[in-house]
Amino acid sequence: MATIGTRLMTWLRGREVGRDQFGNRYYRGKARSGYRRERRWVMFDGEDEASRVPPEWHAWLHHLVTDVPKDTAPRYPWQKEHQPNLTGTPAAYRPPGSVLAGGKRDRATGDYEAWTPPQGPS
């Protein structure tokens, strides 16, 4: 949820340049005094979560590319659909042996030797 100040600045000074597949809206505005580059920002549709910004829009927001991303950009068979950070959700990755994945893991294969501190005079 954007603050009142961000919404007001967007309404007064922002010009919408596009939207992504998540419904996020991207804006540009004039450069602040003393800066050369224009201002760019995103208004999230729903929760403010930076990992919901697709890579092509991330590049535009950070001035890595000058052109606004187009929906008609070629998609290659090896490209996966953008997925936000799922940490802390039920869909998060849980490796084998994780307590959250049941806590069961394969037994050691014999190449592990536990360290024991040297026994000396106390």
Instruction: Establish if 28 belongs to a structural domain.
Output: yes
* Predicted confidence (pLDDT) at residue 1 exceeds the cutoff of 60: no
Instruction: Establish if 66 belongs to a structural domain.
Output: yes
pLDDT in tens, 89-119: 888 888 877 777 777 777 777 777 788 898 8
Instruction: Establish if 120 belongs to a structural domain.
Output: no
Burial of 46 (0-12, 13-18, 19+ CB in 10 A): exposed
Instruction: Establish if 50 belongs to a structural domain.
Output: yes
Domain range spanning residue 26?
1-70
Q: What is the pTM of this model?
A: 0.67
- Burial string for 86-100 (b: 16+ CB within 10 Å, else e) reads eeeeeeeeeeeeeee
Instruction: Establish if 75 belongs to a structural domain.
Output: no
Per-residue model confidence (pLDDT) at position 10: 87
- Residues 13, 96: Cα–Cα separation, whole Å: 50
User: Total structural domains in the chain?
Assistant: 1
Q: How confident is the model at residue 120 (pLDDT cuts 50, 70, 90)?
A: confident
Instruction: Establish if 112 belongs to a structural domain.
Output: no
Structure tokens at 55: 């890579």
- Residues 122, 118: Cα–Cα separation, whole Å: 11
pLDDT in tens, 10-66: 888 889 999 998 899 999 999 888 888 999 999 999 888 888 898 899 999 999 999
Distance of CA 4 to the CA centre of its chain: 24
